[in-house]
Amino acid sequence: MKRAYRYRFYPTDAQAAELSRTFGCVRKVYNLALAARTHAWVTRQERVNYIAASAMLAAWKKTGELAYLNEVSSVPLQQALRHLQTAFSHFFGKRARYPRFKSRKKSRRGAEYTASAFRFRDGALMLAKMTGPLAVVWSRPLPEGASPSTVMVSQDSAGRWFVSLLCDDPGIQPLPVNGNAVGIDAGLEHLLTLSTGEKITNPRHERRDRAALAKAQRRLAKKEKGSANRARARLKVAKIHARIADRRRDGLHKLTTRLVRENQKIVIEDLTVRNMDKNRKLAHAISDAAWSEFRSMLECKAVWYGREVIAVNRWFPSSRLCSACGTLQDKMPLNVRTWTCDCGMTHDRDVNAAHNLLAAGLAVTVCGAGARPQRSTPDRQPATKQKPSQRKP
């Protein structure tokens, strides 16, 4: 099983300049190829694939205007074309929107190197056209005898440098099968409520840094656009956001690993977080809870360890249905946290919902009604309505 190991590293000034130049060239090639593919279809109804785009790249390098593309390694540029091809495949498969141009300010800064463009030996990582090995902080060991197939170098908005090594991990093996199954109801007061009755507190990571973040954002708003002071203020805001995201990701990793290890079947609700974020009163709290990220981690680890994640239909009335007698209540406002059914059973709203989700999820093994197994692809971005000029570039 392939697994990526991510580490921080600290480049020298020369390495940082070379990597920044590479990031810019990767972005330029991606945008040029996207423009060429779109223009070819709109004007000539011609489809441009990866092979044709690669030939275009060779021609671009020979022009005086784009001769600087020869100054960086050619492998990250070729990988950018492959990534564009993958983006179009997702678009044609209605799993994503039409590919968009990469922005210098907003897009992720990164470059991917294949085996021909790097050397990994005795814990030292060397990249093509780079002076000296990267000063990587090996915070955890790679699998014994691991030989990375690709290396991804990136820089986040807080200015931190990361390197990700993709290699085979023999330690990822299916766990022993057990008969445990759990239903999970996501919430805001409690991040998760399990059908076992356990409630996991919402850590609200953003709240801890809310005052510092607001202060940094006020200072950023007062800086003149394009000035060095604004760049420094923006970096301070980005560092606070990165600290919040790191804490949130760490907590979700620990939580999802525990759930996958303890349960054979995990039933969750198929929430449409994108639509829920439109609620102005709850959008902030919903984003901080990171339900989408939780689901992605859970499904990924379930594949690794031979577990099953089942998503129940979002319209299933898990909160209004009595888990004891099956009576469906007409209304259930959000402020109602406990309620008593006509059968005399008193329910905790969230625990009752988790019980109902578990029952509905297990029913999928019998008839498949009202639930579906985990998604086969991690891409959750919905397809949008295609414009006539963008249907088959």
Together in a domain, 97 and 70: yes
Give Cβ neighbours of residue 354 (< 8 Å, ≥ 6 apart): 182, 183, 184, 185, 193, 194, 195, 318
What's the pLDDT score for residue 368? Answer: 53
- Give CA–CA dist 319/310, Å, rounded: 18
**Domain-located, residue 33:** yes
Together in a domain, 300 and 335: yes
**Domain-located, residue 9:** yes
Together in a domain, 102 and 185: no
Together in a domain, 39 and 186: no
Number of structural domains in the chain: 2
What's the pLDDT score for residue 362? Answer: 86
Together in a domain, 161 and 268: no
Together in a domain, 99 and 191: no
Together in a domain, 83 and 186: no
Together in a domain, 111 and 153: yes
- Give CA–CA dist 206/245, Å, rounded: 8
What's the pLDDT score for residue 367? Answer: 60
Together in a domain, 19 and 129: yes
Together in a domain, 10 and 154: yes
- Give CA–CA dist 323/193, Å, rounded: 15
pLDDT in tens, the chain (393 residues): 889 999 999 999 999 999 999 999 999 999 999 999 999 999 988 889 999 999 999 999 999 999 999 999 999 999 999 999 999 999 999 999 999 999 998 899 999 999 999 999 988 999 999 989 999 999 999 988 889 999 999 999 999 999 999 999 888 899 999 989 999 999 998 999 999 999 999 999 999 999 999 999 999 999 999 999 999 999 999 999 999 999 999 999 999 999 999 999 999 998 888 888 888 888 889 899 999 999 999 999 999 999 999 998 888 888 888 888 888 888 888 888 888 887 888 888 899 999 999 998 888 766 655 444 455 444 434 334 344 344 444
Taking each continuous run of H as one helix and of E as one strand, the counts in the chain are 10, 14
The reported pTM is 0.84
Domain coverage including residue 299: 181-200+261-373
- Give CA–CA dist 39/33, Å, rounded: 10
Structure tokens at 117: 């463009």
Together in a domain, 194 and 145: no
Together in a domain, 360 and 270: yes
**Domain-located, residue 219:** no
The residues that are catalytic are: 185, 269, 350
Q: How many residues does the chain have?
A: 393
